[in-house]
Amino acid sequence: MKLTDVVARFDEQLATDEFADVDASANGLQVGPDEKTVETVAFAVDAAEATIEAAIEADADLLVTHHGLVWGGLDRLTGRDFDRIEPLIREDVALYVSHLPLDGHQELGNAAGLADHLGLSNREPFGSLGPVHIGQSGSFESPKTTDELRDALDELDGNEGTQVFDFGPDEISDVAIVTGSGVDWLDEAIDSGVDALITGEGKQKVYHEAREAGISVFLAGHYATETFGVRNLAELAGKLGLESAYISHPTGL
């Protein structure tokens, strides 16, 4: 399959253009020629030396990641940027990146995948960012205790223990999800009336803000909450007739 066709299919499925004005990431094809044939695609959360080396070892023609290499442009191709990009060019491996589009997609995205894992129903877009959403909210058919929800999050790939600010009700029925670094949407969670916000990592001020508002916050790990999107894209690649390989490289964060 031509690389241009794979990119076009991913861009269309993820509505990449809709996030162009709100995302610092250069989403879409970040490294690669105009003409290239793709047979094997590797998928990983981060584009880094370790995952690039693993993609090369897997004989991949294309590496797809959630966190890419270009954030607001490259002034010089030196140092760390060179060390990451040079092997891709040398080994003829293209790089496709989807950051916020892959957070917010309501079926294939990270928040949607985490909602699937938790078995949420009555799901709606959450986490407004300009004209788009980067998260999802939903309800449990049967309320969960804090310990039950923590245990479910501890099952995530790469999770090293979910931290909880346990200031909400004893029984949790409604939750909002913004994966990765999503505590900036705590006020939206409070305004929406959910019992808890689930995200990856926190900030100091969130402890007091959650305590004062009477809402729980679950910090399940940036990496651990963001493996779903690339895995779902791997399934999409399979439907396109491409071989795929998932590269797991947890960061512990």
To the question of whether residue 188 is assigned a binding role by annotation, the answer is no
To the question of whether residue 133 is assigned a binding role by annotation, the answer is no
Separation of alpha carbons 25 and 226, rounded Å: 16
Contact yes or no for 197/138 (Cβ under 8 A): no
Whose structure tokens read 């294939």?
108
Contact yes or no for 245/44 (Cβ under 8 A): no
How far the first Cα of the chain sits from its last, in Å, is 36
To the question of whether residue 17 is assigned a binding role by annotation, the answer is no
To the question of whether residue 91 is assigned a binding role by annotation, the answer is no
Q: Residues with Cβ < 8 Å from 168, sequence gap 6 or more? A: 146, 195, 196, 210, 214, 215, 216
Q: Dihedral of CA 189/227/49/20: which sign? A: negative
Question: CA of 237: how far to CAs of 5, 155, 221, 231, in Å?
Answer: 12, 26, 26, 10
Contact yes or no for 199/177 (Cβ under 8 A): yes
To the question of whether residue 67 is assigned a binding role by annotation, the answer is yes
SS3 assignment for 139-194: EEEEEEEHHHHHHHHHCCCCCCCCEEECCCCCEEEEEEECCCCCHHHHHHHHHHCC
- Residues making up the annotated binding site for a divalent metal cation are 66-67, 103, 222, 226
- Residues making up the annotated binding site are 66-67, 103, 222, 226
